[in-house]
Structure 1
Amino acid sequence: MENTVESLRLRAKMDSPDQRGGVSMPKRIVKRIKPWADTIAVSMNVSMTLFFYFFDVFYVMPQFLGIFGQAVHFVVSTWIAYNILGNLRACTRTLNSVDTLPPEVLKPAEGEESLWHYCDPCQRTVPPRSWHCKTCSTCILKRDHHCNFVGNCVGHNNQRYFMWFSFYAMIGSALALYDNLLYAHKHGFEFVNLFTMHYLLFVEYLHPGTFDLLWEILIRFILTMNVFAIVFPGVLFISQLVVVRNNSVMYKTADCTYDLGIWNNFGQVLGRRRFWTCLSPDIKSPLSHNGTQWESKGTV
């Protein structure tokens, strides 16, 4: 028995994503920095969403649209903002810890002992595809990665919310960029002007008063944040599509061990209602299992 536990410990150290690729930061430093990073990143997400929503809906677009157009824009923007914030909240609050499982399932079923592995920090065996997160200080069911921008580990129970959060953040930012480019163009500012900040400052230095410097800097800042808010969640969303397509995790994207076909793969992440969950984070869509028993190609 002792040899079995020791072999599980050794395999966990070799396979754990936290043990790959170089020297990790000391635990006491990680614990001090990460919670602040989570709080700042989540606050930035909420602040940017609310800023672009109110700025574009109530200030920018009334300058271009009539009553009917404003109403349509308001409905679409509100639905997108609701999905961004709703999925962010659900992703942040949904727990993926192995500790959330009832005691009776915290041990392998007969014949599945070899699939479980030993976690040194938790001092116990944990289900397959579960790995320890130093930030959360616990093992996470099907741990994909720890994301500061949602302040939580992305795993078995909340991957659905993370995927739709990144999707709507990308779509909402693209709509905001279009609105803000219309506004900037109306005032003689083109997209290419984003790359001429040095020229603006140089001319203003030589000939003070040539530009409304505060407005020029502000519009550049807004458009730059718009571009960042499209690219970053866009990359996250595309990476999630690849991960879910292969039924893998972010640190082993190309691993197809658990690939059961695209329909079943998305079903394991999105739940019974699958793509209907795109409409709202409040749609109930039970997952197919509790995160301890994973079918693989070899068992199907």
Structure 2
Amino acid sequence: MASQEENRISRIKDRLLKAVDSWTDPLAIFLNIFLTLFYYLYDVFYVVPQMLGTTGNAVHFVVTTWIVYNILGNLRACSKTKSSVDTLPPELMQPAKGEEHLWHSCEKCQRTVPPRSWHCKVCNICILKRDHHCSFVANCVGHNNHRYFMWFAFYATLGSTIALVENLLFALRNKISVLSLFSFNGLLLAEYLHRGSVNMALEVQVRLVFYVNICAVLFPGLLFFQQIFLIRRNAVMHNSSDRTYDLGCWKNFAQVLGRRHFWTFLSPSIKSPLPNDGTQWQSKHNV
């Protein structure tokens, strides 16, 4: 009876999780795209032209366009690229001779799966070298799309940081103290006592854009540095302390970035075949 009750509760939790993720994933994708395009257009066509000359505007436009291309390109690639066990060709759906002991059984999928593969309750399938399910890309981050997720987090952090600096300079240029959360109360009082003494529309606009911008730096920044920490160890998020597959910094990054290594920094369209198929993993014990 106890076991049946636990199974019933587990099924209810799974249904609730799927119901929540059915709208959180699309919402998170929309938020990513909206904020990226908003800050790109806001800074390129409104903020920067008021602070730089023609040459500066042109250079800024080229650099930020390249950054936005990489943000959205890596986001799309990470979202569209699947790392599920089902992506394996039929001949790799079963362990090679002598490696049967390395595979394990998944009760949900009802089959044996390769080492480092784990079941995702949201995707409802086992993922090759599963790191985590990320709502911001509406997909599981695993063997085939880990590279895109890392560069997406990097470029989102870089672009947001550049925008934050520009928005801070723009605020200072307009004598708006965005660094003091309490100064806004004083401005409200001054506007109440002396009507028209403060440009409230500009004040609210600059402050709102700046504070959201801070969040847009912190979230992808934390993700990026966490990924660097994990990739450096050749570990994954759900087991970050595992050093079994640590082959050294260069080889660890090659497992994620592929044969072209850090050249993938330039564009998500660069082809960079991975060194393995996601079923066989070299450990530091058998190097």
1:255-286, Cα deviation, whole Å (9 max, x unpaired): 11000111110001000000000011111000
Q: Could you tell me which of 22, 25, 29 is aligned with 1:42?
A: 29
**Residue 295 of structure 1 pairs with residue 286 of structure 2:** no
**Cα gap change, 1:187/1:284 in structure 2, threshold over 3 Å: closer, same or farther?**
same
Q: Which residue of 2 aligns with 1:20?
A: none
Residue matched to 2:40: 53
Unaligned runs of 5+ in 2: 1-9
The sequence identity of aligned pairs, in percent, is 58
Q: 3-state SS of the aligned residue for 1:132?
A: strand
Name the amino acid aligned to 1:38.
D
Distance 2:121 2:185 in 1: 42
Match of 2:79 in 1: 92
Structural mapping, 1:92-131, within 5 Å: 92-131=79-118
Change (3 A) 1:78 1:135: same
Pair 201,114 (structure 1): closer, same or farther in 2 beyond 3 Å: farther
- Alignment match, 1:231: 218
Q: How far apart are the structure 2 equivalents of 1:273 and 1:116?
A: 29
Q: Cα offset for 1:158?
A: 0.5
Question: What's 2:207 paired with?
Answer: 220
Contact 1:194/1:224 (8 A) holds in 2 = no
| Distance change >3 Å, CA 210–CA 193, structure 1 → 2 | farther
Secondary structure of 1:193 counterpart = coil
Structure 2: distance between partners of 1:265 and 1:99: 25
Cα separation, partners in 2 of 1:25 and 1:192, compared to 1, 3 Å? farther
1:148 aligns with 2:135: yes
Select the residue among 271, 278, 282 that pairs with 2:269.
282
Does the 8 Å CA contact 1:194/1:220 hold for their aligned counterparts? no
Task: Write out aligned runs for 1:163-242 (5 A).
Answer: 163-201=150-188, 210-242=197-229
Give the whole-Å Cα distance in 2 for the aligned partners of 1:198 and 1:116: 62
Q: Contact 2:234/2:243 (CA < 8 Å) preserved in 1?
A: yes
Once the 2 structures are TM-superposed, how far is the Cα of residue 197 of structure 1 from its aligned partner? 4.0
TM-score by length of 1: 0.88
Give the Å deviation of 1:194.
3.9
User: How far apart are residue 118 of structure 1 and its match?
Assistant: 0.7
Q: CA deviation at 1:176?
A: 0.6
Q: Residue 134 of structure 1 corresponds to which residue in structure 2?
A: 121
Cα separation, 1, equivalents of 2:225 and 2:175: 34
Residues 208/31 of structure 1: CA separation in 2 closer, same or farther (3 Å cut): farther
- Whichever residue aligns with residue 281 of structure 2, its letter is W
Give the aligned partner of residue 256 of structure 2: 269
Question: How many pairs does the alignment contain?
Answer: 278
Cα RMSD for the two superposed structures: 1.8
Question: Which among 66, 89, 107 is matched to residue 53 of structure 2?
Answer: 66
Q: Distance in 2 between matches of 1:152 and 1:227?
A: 25
Give a deviation string over 1:223-262, Cα, whole Å, max 9, x none: 0111111111111110000100000001111211000111
Aligned ranges 1:6-45 → 2 under 5 Å? 26-45=13-32
CA distance in 1, matches of 2:37, 2:12: 34
| Cα-to-partner distance string for 1:95-117 (whole Å, 9 max, x where unaligned) | 01101111110111111111111
- Structure 1: runs of 5 or more not aligned: 1-22
One-letter amino acid of the counterpart of residue 101, structure 1: L
**Shift of residue 208, structure 1, vs aligned partner:** 5.9
1:167/1:195 CA distance change after superposition, 3 Å:
farther
CA contact (8 A) 2:177 2:183 kept: no
